[in-house]
Structure 1
């Protein structure tokens, strides 16, 4: 069992990883290149643990969790005793390669070196690295302390041992490994998510339905059912013959756009970039932190309901 974890990058995902690993009894080192980022991460960790406590999800107090997390600007020292290293730096291939070159030299020779990349091929990240067999994709979904699936992505050089150790570690910290055997762009989750987004954008552009109604149809219909049974189970329930017929009739009419929708630019040009601007496709009357908290409260409630159902 791996007990010592180093997270490189203290941003949105990094502080969430630190919370989750510490809540599950791991000794965590959080590394960043700016002290201000680490200070902010410490405060955000406390806030997330307090949220877990309010929701009845935290087995430890904020102080107990923070006692398991150390903060450092020294990357080499931060990984020197790590059994599992997880980077979550910006999605820039050169930056990630530099991180893994230095980590491979400074971490123990048997440490698993994992990348939270959401789309850069693991094979490209590991290219030319002497520890390429220990480099693996480990893509979590946001927020990592509330969503359980984690993609374990095999690069061309990733060993079976690294894949197995990563999957076992994730299970030890109460996460469900989704094994991705081919290192394709976007892996599984982002390919499915963006296929849905592309069709939603297409429907809005074509005036088939409003943004509000499309959003509601996915959120309250498709997503709610998918939270209970996945797409292949849904086909089984409906019958393969039926779904094959529907697919034959419908697929020719679905969007096959290979460029982002013009709606992105239209909204961005109007200063509607999302919750930080107070508006995106929707308008928001609360700070971004409150919007994300409402999301987390909904995810926590959904998780409890699904757990109760499975029990």
Structure 2
């Protein structure tokens, strides 16, 4: 039974994943090699929890209980030596992940399950330096940002893991109210990111062609397709509309839509100019440093409201 958890990496995803498990009562060790980051991360987690309480998603007295479940380390061995389940959320560098898993394999008990939050790197490459036996206890568990709010987690089901262990992982994520997606093949992007990139490719193309302004393109998605997607998947939407209609529209539109196989040139130009979005102060929109924290909070508030509303539809 999984009780003790470790999360490697205290950045955007890692601290949020650790917070999510701690919120549901798990004993969680959070590791980061950066001592300055590991010394400040509790402030970020506390701020996340305060926002959840302000929005009525948790009771205020849960905040201190959650924080008490979290323990912070800059020494890897101390953080992982007795853990049942470890997930890494370190940078997407294959050599770094391979070396990390090699270290974990040498330190951890034989029963420890290793997971990666990657959606772009193959599991079969990440495990190259670990023992054959450990590979039966390795998988991908891919979250969406912010992990403590977004209900999805994608679970690899690639044939390396005995079914009884995989079922234990499903039960783990059920216990923290996640909607898990079983992914049967190791493909780049898994499921959710491939869908998202398909939408993003056309959105960036519409901007590039000057067909509509950013505000109107976002509005078209929010109050059009995404309005339905909040409660229905694409396949159900297609069934409800009629597959003959979807077939006809596909024949008419797909030939004139963006089909490039790399990032949009407009996106690349923005990156070259240092326009990276909220973190740099400008992307498709501009962000005032004085109001950025409030804008981030408002973004998360909308997700919290959606999470609360979606409880009705979750199975």
Question: Which TM class, normalised by the smaller chain length?
Answer: over 0.9
Q: Residues 81 and 107 of structure 1 are in contact (CA less than 8 Å); yes or no, is this contact kept in structure 2? A: yes
Tell me, in whole angstroms, the C-alpha distance in 2 between the residues paired with 1:217 and 1:203.
12
Q: Which residue of 2 aligns with 1:157?
A: 160
Aligned mate of 2:300, from 288, 296, 300: 296
5 Å-filtered alignment, 1:58-69, equals 58-59=58-59, 60-69=61-70
Long gaps (5+) in structure 1: none
Q: Which residue of 1 aligns with 2:22?
A: 22
Q: Which residue of 1 aligns with 2:95?
A: 94
Considering only aligned residues, what root-mean-square deviation do their CA atoms show, in Å? 1.8
Long gaps (5+) in structure 2: none
Comparing 214-223 and 66-75, the one that deviates more: 214-223
Comparing 277-286 and 56-65, the one that deviates more: 56-65
Tell me, in whole angstroms, the C-alpha distance in 2 between the residues paired with 1:292 and 1:219.
18
5 Å-filtered alignment, 1:218-237, equals 218-237=221-240
Report deviation, 1:175: 0.6
5 Å-filtered alignment, 1:25-174, equals 25-59=25-59, 60-130=61-131, 131-155=134-158, 157-174=160-177
SS at match of 1:5: strand
Report deviation, 1:109: 0.9
Report deviation, 1:118: 2.2
Report deviation, 1:240: 1.4
Aligned mate of 1:276, from 279, 286, 307: 279
Q: TM-score, normalised by structure 2?
A: 0.93
Tell me, in whole angstroms, the C-alpha distance in 2 between the residues paired with 1:288 and 1:4.
36
Alignment of 1:305 onto 2:306: no
How many residues in Structure 1 have an aligned counterpart in Structure 2?
311
Alignment of 1:255 onto 2:253: no
Deviations 1:164-212 (A, max 9, x none): 2222211111111100010001101111111111111112222322222
Q: Residues 81 and 109 of structure 2 are in contact (CA less than 8 Å); yes or no, is this contact kept in structure 1? A: yes
Tell me, in whole angstroms, the C-alpha distance in 1 between the residues paired with 2:291 and 2:111.
44
Deviations 1:28-63 (A, max 9, x none): 000111211112211111111111111122254332
Q: Which residue of 2 aligns with 1:210?
A: 213
Relative contact order, CA 8 A, sep 6+: which one is greater?
Answer: 2
Tell me, in whole angstroms, the C-alpha distance in 1 between the residues paired with 2:143 and 2:271.
27
1:288/1:94 Cα in 2 relative to 1: closer, same or farther (>3 Å)? farther
1:154/1:288 Cα in 2 relative to 1: closer, same or farther (>3 Å)? farther
